[in-house]
Chain A
Amino acid sequence: MAVNEVWNTVPGAFCMFGICCNSFTRMPLGLLLSLSLCNIMHAIDMQKNIWYAPTKIRSSHTSGRDVLNDYLGNDGYEFVRIGNLLASRLILLLILCSCRGCRWLVEQPEGSSLPNTPRFQQFLSMTKVSWNYFIFVCVCL
């Protein structure tokens, strides 16, 4: 549905993405924002009373995202797998938006580890970035 919406936009259109941040943020219980495209569809389907329910809020320490596992986290949990899946789909949508000539905007709470995920880093490596994180890891054996 999101690909269809992006594909039907005209060049120069604006697409806003805010994927679920419950597994990316460092808040103890993780704030959550629904997928903005779903929210737009919710705004459209308000008359039908369709509600896109958010997923369950979990602890960020439970997700286990850190530099040692490339911020992929403990994928034994479903909400971590969903976060990784949404991150990958987000990157595909961003590439699609860029190819369609659309403007896009990705929103995350401050401190989110989404830009550290491998797919996001891969996307940033494909583009010219004005600012980026640099993480140096020193492993003492």
Chain B
Amino acid sequence: MLHFAIVPSVFIKVFTTSFWMGAFNGKTPKRHRLWSNDWGLLQEIHEIGGHMSRAAMQSLPGQSLVKKYHDKNGKLRRVGIPARLKESQCLSCKIIQHAVSCENCECFFPICTLVQGVYSILCGLDCSHHPSTSKGDCDSWRLNICNIFPTYG
């Protein structure tokens, strides 16, 4: 275990950043945190979704997921609204569905592009996994990835 612990410390560097999901077509401005060993990727995400103005947050179509109220001591408290929370819980799934469905769109959001990258890698292994996917689609996705992140080539 000692040797195993020393080896990763030489090669692995962990970086972290945070971003607003509202900047990536999210319905609500939800703050997220990311950990990764790819600094360039986190920097790209942070440049697009790292900051969000209050006006941009209020212009999002989604309703608030929490209800604010003052308790008997006058302290501001929040409680989640279950129905809205359930609707928002599979955002990553929706992103992946969107990324898979927009085959030829010029969508260059990093998250969407990254999901396409993951999917293209899976498709690159065996394109028969997805019946509606041909090898050409995988190549075009991979080309988009290479345009945004040259190191993916």
On chain A, the residues within 8 Å of B80 by CB distance are 27-30
Known A-B contacts A15-B118, A16-B115, A32-B89; the reply to A130 vs B16 at CB < 8 A is: yes
Majority SS of interface residues in chain A?
Answer: mixed
Q: Please state if A43 and B97 are interface contacts (CB–CB under 8 Å).
A: yes
Of the candidates B8, B13, B100, the one whose C-beta lies within 8 Å of that of A43 is B100
Q: Please state if A130 and B117 are interface contacts (CB–CB under 8 Å).
A: no
On chain A, the residues within 8 Å of B131 by CB distance are 47
Q: Please state if A103 and B36 are interface contacts (CB–CB under 8 Å).
A: yes
B72 at the interface (CB under 8 A from A): no
Docked CA distance A84–B127 (Å): 35
Q: Please state if A131 and B16 are interface contacts (CB–CB under 8 Å).
A: yes
Chain B binder among A62-70, A75-83, A104-112:
A104-112
B contact residues, total (Cβ < 8 Å): 52
Known A-B contacts A33-B92, A40-B119; the reply to A28 vs B15 at CB < 8 A is: no
On chain B, the residues within 8 Å of A106 by CB distance are 34-36
Docked CA distance A14–B45 (Å): 15
- For residue A22, which residue of chain B has the nearest CB? B89
- For residue A122, which residue of chain B has the nearest CB? B5
On chain A, the residues within 8 Å of B34 by CB distance are 105-107
- The minimal Cβ–Cβ distance linking B64 to chain A, given in whole angstroms, is 12
B91 at the interface (CB under 8 A from A): yes
On chain A, the residues within 8 Å of B93 by CB distance are 34, 39, 42
Docked CA distance A77–B60 (Å): 36
On chain B, the residues within 8 Å of A126 by CB distance are 5, 8-9, 12
Q: Please state if B15 and A33 are interface contacts (CB–CB under 8 Å).
A: no
Near B by CB (< 8 A), chain A positions 10-40 give 10, 12-16, 18, 27-34, 36, 39-40
Q: Please state if B33 and A110 are interface contacts (CB–CB under 8 Å).
A: yes
On chain B, the residues within 8 Å of A137 by CB distance are none
Docked CA distance A3–B93 (Å): 20
Docked CA distance A27–B16 (Å): 21
On chain B, the residues within 8 Å of A12 by CB distance are 151-152
On chain B, the residues within 8 Å of A98 by CB distance are 8, 11-12, 37
Can you sample 19 A-B contacts with CB below 8 Å? A9-B121, A10-B121, A14-B118, A18-B92, A28-B80, A34-B89, A39-B90, A39-B92, A39-B96, A43-B130, A44-B130, A46-B97, A105-B34, A106-B36, A107-B32, A107-B34, A109-B30, A127-B13, A130-B16
Chain A interfacial positions (CB closer than 8 Å to B):
5, 8-10, 12-16, 18, 27-34, 36, 39-40, 42-44, 46-47, 54, 57, 95, 98-99, 103-112, 115, 124-131
Starting from the known contacts A30-B80, A105-B114, 14 additional A-B residue pairs (CB-CB under 8 Å) come to A12-B151, A14-B152, A16-B115, A28-B66, A28-B80, A36-B92, A40-B122, A98-B11, A107-B32, A108-B33, A115-B35, A127-B8, A127-B13, A130-B16
